[in-house]
Amino acid sequence: MKTILIFTVFFLIICSKSFSQAKEQPKLVIGIVVDQMRAEYLYRFQKNYSENGFKKLINEGLNLKNVHYNYVPTETAPGHASIYTGTTPANHGIIANNWFLRDKNKTIYCVDDSLEQIIGNETVNNKSIGASPRNLLASTFTDELKLFSNKRSKVIGISLKDRGAILPVGHLADFAFWYDERTGNFVSSTFYNKKIPNWTSSFNAQMLPDFFLNKTWDLLLPIEKYINSNNDDVTLERIYKGKINATFPYNLKQLKEQNGGYRILAETPFGNTLLTDFAIETIKQEKLGKHSDIDFLSISFSSTDKVGHDFGIRSKELEDTYLRLDRDLARLITFLDTQIGKEKYILFLTADHASSDNPDFLKEVNVASGFYDTDSLKTYLNNKLFQDFGINNCISYMDNTQVYVNNQVPDKQKLLAKTEEYLFGLDGIKNIFIPSFKNQSLLNNDLGSFIKNSFNHNRSGDIYIQFYPGWMRNLKYGTSHYSAYNNDTHVPLIWYGGNIKKGESIKYYSITSIIPSLSLSLDIPLPNEASVIPIEELFH
């Protein structure tokens, strides 16, 4: 009898421990994308970060230090789509921000939708085309979450950019909101509802953009603390109309009208501050994290990208933008920790792509680099190919990485071969990839796998061009991104909250491992095209 009693007590203790250690599902998942954030920004600017923003995530979260994109081009739309579908452009179909429609002989923007209208900007003559996720061919984590909860979960995406709000939250979201550069309002699409919620109208009525645009953008800290960026007065930076150089301070009230009106706000760190205000209001008004099922909020900070494009990755403007974003993140995290509870939400932070140095800057520091011009390349190729085929416009369209040839040319394979021959004779070109040439040995190397991950039969170009590192499409100032090199592929990834144990890892992961990790940890079905390779460190 005593033996039976001891065994029974032991069994109950074991069961008690098992149940007490069973994971508690979070009430809210927050996905944060910092547009154009290089992984190194976590460390290059760290000395001037506050204790409760990026540093808090690094010190208390799981920091994956070797996360990369695995396709080209590395741009905003395919970046957001790849994060949240868990797959690459070959499968989800968002192959770039824009792509060429052969049957209509024109380009299409990734979230354009003529069947829908924009809502929330009724004060302007609204003739612009609508927006939706219809061009997204794969399901997202949030689609599966909606289906799993029988649509009880609330799913909302917000960003300054429409594509940064729409693509993350897929086809079943309650709403996606983005910043309208004509009105300063947060707007949405009839794809989600016939009108925006009353609370969004009330938020817009505060006209916070006017408040920010009455400010002067000056350095947050004394200039001598900005030791990890170039001098303030340098070339290769955008000079706003109304200024004679690209130096602090920026009187936004004076600059607004000459520089796109409300658009200029998104090109300053105050755009991120506005989005943080809107994120907190969204959580409050939609009661995210207060329901019986898991809710989801996607936040995409876009001002970092716009400042990077305008001023470059080594500018005082960019460093200041990250210091201010750090304070905005601290405000958001503090709100979440106090109002939701750290143990009741999960947050991940990553980027949709990274960025590269301006080739002119690289030349100054003796690094090989150069520029190319797609319009000139297209003209050159069409002139050469006309001599071979006697047909005008053998090249229909070119972008930073792809060439679309004219399908009306009778011998397409010969056309592709001649185009490849002429391209290889030009400076700056390292490799040419032609997916239809199935036996092409180049497709078997590491970069070839990037092309396989990128190529969508119905949407992609016929030829992929790989330029050498340091080469970029012509720029007057700032910088850009779209290559398959580490400069553009290496991004941060930090997990925080819930039952996530702090730590760091240098193991390589692709960006497509985020969603299988989230799905498997929350017992939500994987999106239909998602990778099945999760981040192992999250499950230790």
Extract the annotated binding site for substrate.
97, 161-163
3 state DSSP class of 28: strand
Beta-sheet strand order (sheet of 402-405): 395-398, 402-405, 463-467, 429-433
CB 482, CB 98: distance < 8 Å: no
Whole-angstrom Cα distance, residue 138 to residue 165?
A: 17
| Residue among 516, 23, 494, 32 nearest 296 (CA) | 32
CB 240, CB 258: distance < 8 Å: yes
Q: Which residues are annotated as a binding site?
A: 97, 161-163
Helix (H) or strand (E) holding 112: strand 112-113
3 state DSSP class of 228: coil
Instruction: Read off the amino acid at residue 15.
Output: C
Active site residues: 76
DSSP 75-106: -HHHHHHHHHHSS-HHHH---SSEEEETTTTE
- Roughly what angle, to the nearest 10 degrees, separates helices 316-336 and 303-311? 170
DSSP 373-431: -HHHHHHHHHHHHHHHH--S-SEEEE-SSEEEE-TTSS-HHHHHHHHHHHHHTSTTEEE
